[in-house]
Amino acid sequence: MNTQQAEVTEANPVPAQETGEVENAQEEVSLDSLLSEYNEPTEEPKKEEPQPTASYSPDVQTFMQRQIKKDNDLALAEASKAMKAVVGDVNLSDKWFEGQLHLAASKDPRLIQAFNNREVSPKQWEAVVTSLGKELAQELAPTDKAATDSWNAVESAVHSASTSKVTEAAPDFGSMTDSEFMAWKVKHG
């Protein structure tokens, strides 16, 4: 008797996740897992042959450097605005968020690699920026507005009570009699 197992292949593969599920799945991805793509390779990198470089005039080189700096500054500004949007309503400038981006890059060089590859994989860069924003949002957890308002009210009441001093009109020493001047002098020292 010949026993052969039948091979079953599915004609209808499992449908892809709905867009909401994909977004929720990406929300739970940590920054470290996003940047793991840029980990140092454990194998020795293949030696690349040097590519011939065209020699440009100093003016063209200067122009190219300015353009690269301009593009990088624009990308950093956009990333800091995106991070600020993720964090939410905070009273911090875009420059502060740009500084946080620089700080994170100084601590994790994979972030620099992700930034340099932002044009190759913009979705990956957006995910990294969003993840950084979420980390900052956790650090900048919103304060209790009611408690803050009550503290501000107490401070205002104390401040207004301590500064509400009754002021007397300036004395007119020229029109005072000797007895009025002596009374004023006794009262004010």
- For residue 156, is it within any domain? no
pLDDT at 99: 92
Contacts of residue 80, defined as CB under 8 A and 6 or more positions apart, other chains included, come to: 94, 95, 97, 98, 100, 101
- For residue 98, is it within any domain? yes
- For residue 123, is it within any domain? yes
- For residue 104, is it within any domain? yes
31/50 Cα distance (integer angstroms): 34
- For residue 26, is it within any domain? no
Q: How is 29-96 classified by DSSP, letter by letter?
A: --HHHHHGGGSPPSSPPPPPPPPP-----HHHHHHHHHHHHHHHHHHHHHHHHHHHHHH-S-S--HHH
- For residue 128, is it within any domain? yes
- For residue 86, is it within any domain? yes
Number of domains in the chain: 1
- For residue 147, is it within any domain? no
Q: pLDDT truncated to tens, each residue of the chain (189 aa)?
A: 555 555 544 444 444 444 444 444 445 677 777 777 777 655 555 555 555 566 888 999 999 999 999 999 999 999 999 998 988 878 888 899 999 999 999 999 889 899 999 999 889 999 999 999 998 888 887 667 777 778 888 888 787 765 555 667 778 888 889 898 888 889 887
User: Which domain range does residue 114 map to?
Assistant: 58-141
